[in-house]
């Protein structure tokens, strides 16, 4: 018993030490972790090419080349559209400021009976210039240049990491099966089948979630962009795309999209209640399409989280790891749900959860019944054995009169 306890303490200490070392090596470990998950996402495509008969290295190369071509075409097509939308937004700023001064602020003043005011752009420009001249002297400019140089070095480091991740992912995919076999051999034999069952379920949940959420994100962006363009919003395309991309985080796409669309509507149309109602209708249709069509058919009940749990997971991820934590909150929560479900099943089958053993005896027949949480046992005794047991039980009892005489 002592040896088993010491062994468990030793294993636990080793795990804690390993986690501490990984935390110290976080800048080095993060690219490998990202590359591993990239290899995990692309491994089904690689396996499909391998089934055709292509060598594994060629299959991996085709997958990476295809993804690179798709990203290049998307950027080549999207950047001009985004640039056009940004130019429209830039040209709308002076018109919007003029509308605020001539229409919105007088309406606010007359409605709420407050002093009328206006936005003075020349005064704002002078304030900004005075602040720059006061706070940015030669020393501060030198410090700013040092910060810019440091930022440039950080940018180069980030660029190197971005280039390094696909290379690491390539080698992960090249030795994917051998790496999985090595990890499987580390599992203790008595727990191999149960552990592999849990891993397979986590794999199914993650795969379904990633594919489904990616399709939901794209289709929802198309719905938002198409709807906003149809109601005449000039920057509707870029707002719809941003809302679709932001929908990878639950409820963020809807919030960002509707706020940006309302601001753009005010800048383009002024206080036009019909346009505001149309914007709300577009986003209500988008939410209905997402909730009743896209998620049930593409995601189903793969995550198994209630809306309250989804909000909690996103907020917890944001608190622990910032924006990246918000991105991975739902997949991590889905895996945790799978682990907790199997842990509950293990607990219900353990002696800690089981009811106590109940032993009952029938005095007439001498039968013995044993009830536990898993089994029910009935023991029937022949009459001769039952009578001998009853006689022995009676003879072993002490009468009150005998006890008093003694």
Break the chain into its structural domains and give their ranges: 28-112+151-186+195-349
Residues β-bridged to residue 378? 369
Considering the chain, what is the average pLDDT of its residues?
76
Does this model's pTM top 0.85? no
Q: Which tokens belong to 30? A: 């993060």
**Tokens 């003694």 belong to residue:** 406
- Per-residue pLDDT of 224-259, as tens digits, reads 989 988 888 877 888 888 888 888 877 788 888 898
Lowest mean pLDDT among 314-323, 376-385, 394-403: 394-403
pLDDT on residue 368: 65
Name the β-bridge partners of 370.
359, 377
Residue 226 backbone zone (phi > 0: left; psi -120 to 50: alpha; other: beta): alpha
Of 114-118, 162-166, 399-403, highest mean pLDDT = 162-166
* DSSP single-letter state for residue 189: G
Integer Cα distance of 335 and 170 in angstroms: 25
pLDDT value for 65: 92
Q: How far apart are CA 132 and CA 138, in angstroms?
A: 12
Q: Indicate the SS3 state at residue 304.
A: coil
Query: Which contiguous run of DSSP H or E holds residue 5?
Result: helix 2-24
Asked if 257 and 246 touch (Cβ cutoff 8 Å), the reply is yes
């Amino acid at each position: 018993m002592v040896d088993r306890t010491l062994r468990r303490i030793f294993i636990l200490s080793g795990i804690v030490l390993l986690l501490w070392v990984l935390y110290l090596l976080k800048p080095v470990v993060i690219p490998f972790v990202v590359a591993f998950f990239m290899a995990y996402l692309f491994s089904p495509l690689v396996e499909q090419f391998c089934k055709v008969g292509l060598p594994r290295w060629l299959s991996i190369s085709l997958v990476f080349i295809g993804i690179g071509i798709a990203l290049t075409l998307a950027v080549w097509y999207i950047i001009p559209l985004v640039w056009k939308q940004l130019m429209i937004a830039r040209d709308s700023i002076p018109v919007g400021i003029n509308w605020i001064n001539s229409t919105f602020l007088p309406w606010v003043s007359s409605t709420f009976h407050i002093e009328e005011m206006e936005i003075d752009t020349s005064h704002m420009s002078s304030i900004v210039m005075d602040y720059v001249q006061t706070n940015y002297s030669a020393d501060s400019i030198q410090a700013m240049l040092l910060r810019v140089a440091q930022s440039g070095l950080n940018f180069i480091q980030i660029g190197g990491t971005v280039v390094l991740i696909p290379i690491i992912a390539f080698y992960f995919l090249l030795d994917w099966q051998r790496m999985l076999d090595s990890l499987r051999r580390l599992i203790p034999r008595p727990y191999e089948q149960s552990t592999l069952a849990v891993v397979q379920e986590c794999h199914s949940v993650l795969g379904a979630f990633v594919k489904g959420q990616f399709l939901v994100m794209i289709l929802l962006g198309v719905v938002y962009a198409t709807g906003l363009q149809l109601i005449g919003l000039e920057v509707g395309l870029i707002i719809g795309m941003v809302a679709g991309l932001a929908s990878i985080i639950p409820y963020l796409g809807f919030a960002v999209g509707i706020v940006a669309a309302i601001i753009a509507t005010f800048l383009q149309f002024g206080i036009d209640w019909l346009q505001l109602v149309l914007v709300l209708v577009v986003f209500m249709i988008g939410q209905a399409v997402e909730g009743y069509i896209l998620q049930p058919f593409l995601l189903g009940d793969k995550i198994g989280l209630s809306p309250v749990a989804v909000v909690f997971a996103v907020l917890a991820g944001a608190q622990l790891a910032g924006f990246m934590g918000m991105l991975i909150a739902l997949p991590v929560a889905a895996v945790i749900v799978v682990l907790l479900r199997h842990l509950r099943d293990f607990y219900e089958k353990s002696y800690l959860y089981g009811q106590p053993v109940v032993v009952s005896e029938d005095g007439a027949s001498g039968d013995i019944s044993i009830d536990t949480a898993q089994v029910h046992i009935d023991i029937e005794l022949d009459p001769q054995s039952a009578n001998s047991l009853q006689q022995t039980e009676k003879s072993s009892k002490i009468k009150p009169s005998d006890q008093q005489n003694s």
